[in-house]
Amino acid sequence: MKAVGVVVEYNPFHNGHLFHLQQAKKQSGADISIAAMSGNFLQRGEPALVSKWARTKMALEAGVDIVFELPYRFATQHAETFAEGAVSILSAAGCDTLCFGSESGDLNAFNKTIIFLEENNEKFQERIRFYTGEGYSYPKSISLGFQSLAPDESFIDISRPNNILGLHYIQAIIRQKSSMRAETITRKSAGYHDEHFASATIASATSIRKALFGAVGEIENIKQYVPETTYQQLINYRDQYGGFHSWENYWPLLKYKLLQSNASELRGLYEVEEGLENRLLAAAASSESFQQFMEYIKTKRYTWTRLQRVCLHILTNTSKNTMKTSQKTVNYLRLLGATEKGRSYLNYKKKDFSLPLVSKLSAFSDPDIELDIKASRIYALGQTGKGQEQLLAEEFARPPIMLKS
């Protein structure tokens, strides 16, 4: 059986994701699809709209055959580490192809860009240091540095979020000496960060979430942009758990954590650079919401995404020592769900997997598993009452979702 791998967050699964999934299968000629999916907290430092279990079910009902969890230590990191973790999962699971969406859609341009960066790495790093010294954020410095060296239009635009992720996927495949080949599909209609609906059927996850948390907050507003199965899962989740998750749910917890910490304690947490801790403490005392807090601490140097990740690691009390290990790849394959076709693949191929398959937490021990358990418990605190109780119990009590045909 031939497998294509995709790296996803599905926050939530929408029509653009469905297009990518269908094209990935078609373009690769794969029999099944395997997703490496972020858990309850995401790469941009946000809580997922709904839990990893609800998003797993969305994925399976839409056509993904197997979902493995990308652990917190990789899922909440910058693009390079995020990509290393995801590629290691898909490679270990026997994927023949990794198919990613990009703004470019041209694999030759990706390969040309990678060769150029390898040949000019020293100059490129010098330019990055120059621009960061000028006060630009690291992602902006990368973009400016590359533009100053390579204005050639045949290179990819590495200021675009999916292009830069795709670049790191290919580099991770090369570094890990994986037998997977890379393919890319042009993203359809909506941009990654688009906040408004610009098409009749395709919208970004950002605009969908904004509609769900808008002034009206009517779930019907997003119906045309998501598969019917996603729409039903969102309704079920809202009714069962009491609502959706956003940073505002966690603001009282983050504010408490900040106000009971001192500067030295904050400096020990991951991604808190020296000097930032004082700004965080001052803002926490005078902010009444997460939005207000973020607007207070935002600077030219620190992107919104970077600051959200800082806040997330403070919320989960994740230290620099926990995240900065020499390990660059995932140690296990944690199964979140599978279709009948996916289970046939697992039964046939799991003996060839290069990593252990984990379907029951109590049967496996790993520091990254412990970190995921802690993150899931904190994620549950974004709800109250019975919704919180259910989420707290799920991490250990819930087996992988097995979807029947």
Residue 157 sits at φ, ψ, to 5 deg, of -85, 105
Predicted local distance difference test score (pLDDT) of residue 104: 87
Task: Answer whether 165's CB lies under 8 Å from 77's CB.
Answer: no
List, as residue ranges, the binding site: 7-20, 101, 162, 187
DSSP state letter for 384? -
Predicted local distance difference test score (pLDDT) of residue 190: 47
Provide the percentage of residues in the chain whose pLDDT is more than 70.
95
Predicted local distance difference test score (pLDDT) of residue 92: 98
| pLDDT > 70? residue 267 | yes
The least confident of 116-130, 146-160, 304-318 is 146-160
State the average pLDDT over residues 10-21.
95
Task: Answer whether 245's CB lies under 8 Å from 382's CB.
Answer: yes
**Per-residue pLDDT tens digits for 188-220:** 654 444 544 456 678 888 889 888 887 556 788
Predicted local distance difference test score (pLDDT) of residue 192: 47
Would you state the torsion angle of the CA atoms of residues 103, 330, 66, 377, taken in this order, to the nearest 10 degrees?
-100
What are the extents of the domains in the chain?
3-103+166-244+326-403, 107-159, 247-323
d(CA 225, CA 204): 9
**Per-residue pLDDT tens digits for 340-383:** 999 999 999 999 999 999 999 888 999 999 999 999 999 999 99
First vs last C-alpha separation in the chain: 18
List, as residue ranges, the binding site for ATP: 7-20, 101, 162, 187
| pLDDT > 90? residue 396 | no
**Per-residue pLDDT tens digits for 277-300:** 999 999 999 999 999 999 999 988
Give domain 3-103+166-244+326-403's CATH number out of 3.40.50.620, 3.40.1190.20, 3.40.50.720, 3.40.630.30.
3.40.50.620
The least confident of 54-63, 168-177, 195-204 is 195-204
Query: Token pair for residue 221?
Result: 């507003």
Of 373 and 137, the one with more pLDDT: 373
Predicted local distance difference test score (pLDDT) of residue 151: 66
Task: Answer whether 99's CB lies under 8 Å from 29's CB.
Answer: no
State the average pLDDT over residues 222-230.
94
**Per-residue pLDDT tens digits for 296-327:** 999 888 889 999 999 999 999 999 999 987 68
Predicted local distance difference test score (pLDDT) of residue 6: 98
Provide the percentage of residues in the chain whose pLDDT is more than 90.
73
